[in-house]
Structure formats: C-alpha cells, structure tokens
Amino acid sequence: MTLMNKDKWKAYINERKLVDPKRYLPKEALYSGLWEGEDLKKQIKDKLLQIAKEFWESLEIDDVDIEDITITGSIANYNWTNFSDIDLHIIIDFSKVPFDKDLVGDFFRAKSGLWNRKHDIFMSGHQVEIYIQDSGEPHHSTGVFSVQNNSWVVKPQRKDIAIDDDLVTKKANMLADQIERAEDFMQERNYALAHEFSDKLKQKIRNFRKSGLESAGEFSPENLAFKILRNSEYLGLLDNIYVQSYDKLMSLNGKFDQKLRIFVKNDLKSDQMKLNEIEKYQKKIRSRHKRMKKRLIGGGNQKNSPPYGQKPSYKRSKSAPVGFGGS
C-alpha cells in the first residue's frame, strides 16, 4: 500500500467538510435574535419560562421546587454561531428527591431527552433544548443568564481568542475517523462490534470534552473539536450507530445463536481484526467516501434545475490521492 505525503493526506481530510474552527471565534455582540444589548428579550424570556415550568409540572414530582431556570452555553455568550442551541437549564437540588442520586439523574436525563426528541421549538432560528441540572453540579460556562430572575449569574466577557486551527481540526478528524470506523462495522453487519465500539467511543468523547473544559474552558481545542463534530453531524451519526446496532442485536430473525457467537468472539484488540483491517483498508476508504459525500450533498429535496440539471455523483474523483482511489 502506497503511503501518502502530508499534502495529499491533508487534501483527503479536507473532503470531510468539517466546520471551520474560526466559526467559534467571539462575535462583537450577543446574538441579536435573543438579546437587546445584554438584556434578554421579554417575549423570549416569557416563552422560555412557560416551557420550563410546564415541562417540570409534567413530571409530577412533589415537594421539590425549581431553584432557578437559566440559559447557558454559546447562545449566552459572544461565541454563538448559527448552530447554537438555546440550552434551557432547570436547576433543582437532586438530594431533595427521595431516591438514589444516580437513579434520579438517569430519570431526569431520560425525561429531558424524550422531550428534546419529541419537540422542535425554535426561537429566532435556534432550537430549544431542556436539561435538568443538579444545583450541586459543577457547570463550566462563562455565560449563564437566569431567566427566572431576569439577571446574569455569570456575565460573559468578550475576549480576543487565538484558536489553533490545525490542532482543533486534527483532534476533530481523529474522532471523526473513529466514528467512520464504527459506521464501517455497521455496513459490514458486524452489529456486536459496532455497538461495543460506539459505546466506548461515546464515553471517550464525553471524557475528551470534559477534560478540555476543566483545563482550558470553552475555547479549549477539545471543546471546539466536540462542537465541530456535533455541528458536522458526526455525533448524530454515532448516536444512530449505537442505537441501531443494539436494535439489530436484539432482533430475533432465526440467527440469534450466530449473533451470540460473534459477540463472544469479537475482541477490539485481537490480532486477527488488525489484519483484516489492513486487508480491507482501501475498500473501506472508497465506501466511506461515497457515504460521506452522500451525507454532505445528497440530503436535499430540491429539484434539479438549470444550470444544475443532473443529480450529483457520489463517486470518488479521479484526483484522489494515491492509495485512496479505485486504482
């Protein structure tokens, strides 16, 4: 197999069309769709309060009051983008719920996740996402606004930030490559390995982001790489692989014993798997390219009209780097 030089490898990586890290540089002002200067627009505030309170009431948890309702994240800061969600946090004291704290956390995550999947509420073009936060939980954000009290808890300060584009992109591509590996296992119908690999990768990415936030804050290379993966739809792809692989494993279609044997025999560190990966490497790259290109340019429903009268080709171009094309 011919090895690529640095320039050809960079050209291949650029085909992923990941979001440019410069997108996350601080803007001159807070997002005008939500804010008037540093004040939250009244119409936005009233709607967010209504959403949070109605959601909490639907859980029917007695004797536990909301301590605060906040919005946080990039939409409450100068590093907002067109991708930013409105992260609506309902803050309560988990210890006041008379059950095991971990169980309480799992329950709230399940309920908020279900609500987020069920509802598509947008304000000024940005989607509202609910999260129930323990009042004792460390929260790494330089912008937190109390919707309930109509005041800043942590007021954002605009600072000029230098972003190491190459480092951020390198970290994002490293994880994107591993997500594509999980997708390969799904394409090969190796559902046990796809599920195990995606499960470990989800945990790895959570720890990866957490370490970056704790060490260098919101503009850490790790957190920016995470945002790139999320906004480039790689994290959504990973979630789908995790769920779909589980569904395939749990489906009974007369081959349960075969699936069980595969599950037992698969070992992520096995020498045989490494050998198989080397043999299938070029085939994987070709198939990944087609799937990736289809995700990027094949999702629209618009009709083909002049001057674009033909559907786009998902085949790899003839200028692909040596060792990564069909030759």
CB 65 within 8 A of CB 100: no
Residue 181 contacts residue 197 (beta carbons within 8 Å): yes
CATH 3.30.460 domain locations along the chain: 28-154
The two structure tokens encoding residue 289: 């390219």
Among 28-42, 233-247, 267-281, name the one with the lowest average pLDDT. 267-281
Average pLDDT value for residue range 244-255? 80
Distance CA(80)–CA(30), nearest Å, equals 8
Of 100 and 19, the structure prediction assigns the larger pLDDT to 100
Specify the length of the chain in residues: 327
**What does the pLDDT read at residue 97?**
87
Q: What angle do CA 166, 169, 171 make, to 5 degrees?
A: 110
Q: List, in order, residues 6 or more apart from 187 with CB less than 8 Å away.
A: 287, 291
pLDDT at 3 over 50: no
CATH number of 28-154: 3.30.460
Listed residue (71, 77, 79, 78) closest to 127, CA to CA? 71
Q: Show the beta-strand stretches assigned E in the chain.
A: 35-36, 39-40, 68-72, 86-92, 122-123, 126-134, 144-146, 151-154
146: its two tokens: 């109390």
Distance between CA 291 and CA 129 in Å, rounded? Answer: 29
Least confident of 41-45, 263-267, 286-290: 263-267
For residue 136, the SS3 value is coil
For 70, 273, 305, the CA distances from 135, given in Å and listed in that order, are 12, 46, 55
pLDDT at residue 46 is higher than 50: yes
Which residue in this structure is represented by tokens 């000024």? 124
**Cα–Cα dist 52/57, whole Å:** 9
Residue with tokens 């070709």: 286
pLDDT bucket at 126, cuts 50 / 70 / 90: very high
Residue 28's Cα: distance from chain center in Å? 26
Element (H, E) at 133: strand 126-134
List the one residue out of 278, 300, 296, 279 whose CA is nearest residue 288: 296
Whether the predicted pLDDT of 317 surpasses 70 = no
Contact (Cβ atoms closer than 8 angstroms) between residue 205 and residue 175: yes
Distance CA 92, CA 62 (A): 12
Helix 165-187 / helix 221-231 crossing angle, nearest 10 deg: 50
Q: Evaluate whether 191 touches 253 at the Cβ level (below 8 Å).
A: no
Angstrom distance (rounded) from CA 83 to CA 232: 10
Question: Which of 84, 54, 57, 52 minimizes the C-alpha distance to 68?
Answer: 52
> Given this model, what pLDDT does residue 91 score?
96
**pTM for this structure?**
0.59
Most confidently modeled range among 78-87, 253-262, 282-291, 296-305? 78-87
Pairing of strands 122-123, 126-134: antiparallel
Q: Minimum mean pLDDT among 146-150, 197-201, 254-258: which range?
A: 254-258
Of 5-14, 27-36, 64-73, 225-234, the poorest mean pLDDT is in 5-14
* Most confident range, picked from 44-48, 97-101, 104-108: 44-48
Give the up-direction half-sphere exposure of residue 280: CA atoms within 13 A in the CB hemisphere: 14
Residue 257 has pLDDT above 90, yes or no: no
